[in-house]
Structure formats: structure tokens, C-alpha cells
Amino acid sequence: MSLEQIVNTSEYPVLDTGSGDYADLIESSRESFSRSGVCLLHNFIAADSLRRMCDSAVDAIDNTFFCHSSHNAYLLPDDENFDPAHPRRRQLRTDVGSIAYDCLDSNNDLVRLYQSDQMTRFIGEILGHASFYPLGDPLGALSINVFEPMGSHAWHFDESVFSVTLMLQAAESGGHFEYVPNLRSESENNYRGVGAVLDGDEADVQTLPLQPGTLSIFAGRYSMHRVTAVEGAAPRLVAVLCYANNPGVTNSPEVRKLFWGRSE
């Protein structure tokens, strides 16, 4: 299965790396990511390929490990120097599952997409990384987030500078990706602003229009975000594609244990 049969190449010429259309795609994607912290490539996956990806994900869903956790928005250890109601300590509930990389069919289009050198180069060029590799982690390099009915991911900032996701299947209702752009900075935690959002202030909350087949590159370190509760029988399925600037990078055993219930 070639990348041409997986990606909607009529709209996204990811294989024509020397063409003007490819250069324009990289430039427009970089501009969007730089300006808003989000690059959305709708209809990135060809329809038949998306169907195969979804079917394979559903086949593997019994391998989902569910994480039911409580955390603060900063994903930092609890600090008793702050009041329990302070945004730095306030505990938020997350219920999400994940299918590990080694549970995915190696012959499926999703795995082939992730393992493609052209795909790695494409994402790396958008982000401006001359050195760019698929993650070397046997569980977390590529995974699928599973949100079953009432599953959600509470407000948080990411530890990583960027995340790459591919929407495979939307929820029947709910399951919206909401975010507040640039709510904090490297030097300012903005407890007042974060607290206002946690208290229900939605004045600056935006919704990312994710649809099945949408590839998303999102800068979540400074933009607080969440996935609202899923409703209906169909699970929300989102593939998470992880990369690094050096080859062989892996997650710690502790991270693997948290998200997949095992370290190897």
C-alpha cells in the first residue's frame, strides 16, 4: 500500500516534494501553525483508506487500556503550598483509553502512514525541523485514543511543544476539542486566566473543527485544551502520531505504565 493510496494526494501533494504545489502546502501549513498554534488539514486521508483505518481500530478496541485519572491543568505534581481551590492544585477528572502501538495491525494503512519516510519528512518540514524521526517507543510511538460514552479529557496544557493527531471516528454527539489559545507563556502561568476558564468563563474558548480524516498539528504547551464528554454509542477514535528530533527516543517506563498499563 503506497502513500498515494492512503493520503488524498489530489489535495495534499505530499509525494511531489520538488513541486511548487508542495512548497505552497508547506508554507501555508507553517503560516497557520505559527499564527494560531494550529494546522488543520481536512480530508487528508483518502475515503477508502480512512474506512480501513477505522475498521482496524475497531478490531483492536478490546486491547484498550483505560486511564481514569485526576490531575491539575498544568499536569504537575500536587503542591500543598497552594490552596486546594487554586488553579495550580484544582483536581480535574479524565477518563480516556488508549490502544498501544504493538496492538495495531502492522499491515493497516494507519501504521503504514506513520512509518512512511515521506510522512515523517512532511510533518518535520511544517514544524521546521531538519532532524525529525518517528518515536522509538514500542507502545507510544503511534497509539489510538479511545473515548467511550461519557469519556472526556479535562482541561490541561501539554508537556510537549506539539502534538500530531488524526481523527478516525467522531462521537455521535459531544467529544468536542476545545481550547483557549496562548493562555500561558514560558514565563507566566496565568493562574487568574486559567482559574476563570475552570470556573466556566468561555469567552475565549474555541472549538477545533475536527472531522474524520482531519490531520491536526497542535501546539498545546501554551494553549489549554480539553475534550468534552462523549455521548452516544460510537466511541471517539483519534490516532496520536509521535515524533522526535533524535532517533530511538522512548517514553519512560512510568509513562508507559500510566497510559497502557504495562512498561513493555
Nearest Cα neighbor of 223 from 170, 172, 160, 176 is 160
Encode pLDDT of 193-233 as tens digits.
999 999 999 999 999 999 999 999 999 999 999 999 999 99
| Radius of gyration for the alpha carbons in the chain, expressed in angstroms and rounded | 18
Q: HSE-up of 111 (CA within 13 Å, CB side)?
A: 15
pLDDT at position 1 is 62
- Partners of 208 in the β-ladder: 177
CB-based contact 7:14 (threshold 8 Å)? yes
Q: Which distant-in-sequence residues (6+ apart) come within 8 Å of 31 by Cβ?
A: none
The per-residue pLDDT string of the chain (264 residues; one tens digit each, 9 = 90 and over) reads 689 999 999 999 999 999 999 999 999 999 999 999 999 999 999 999 999 999 999 999 999 999 999 999 999 999 999 999 999 999 999 999 999 999 999 999 999 999 999 999 999 999 999 999 999 999 999 999 999 999 999 999 998 999 999 999 999 999 999 999 999 999 999 999 999 999 999 999 999 999 999 999 999 999 999 999 999 999 999 999 999 999 999 999 988 998 999 998
Q: 3-class DSSP state for residue 77?
A: coil
20-46 as b/e: b if 16+ CB within 10 A = eebeebbeebbebbeeebbbbbbbbbb
CB-based contact 206:181 (threshold 8 Å)? yes
pTM of the full structure: 0.95
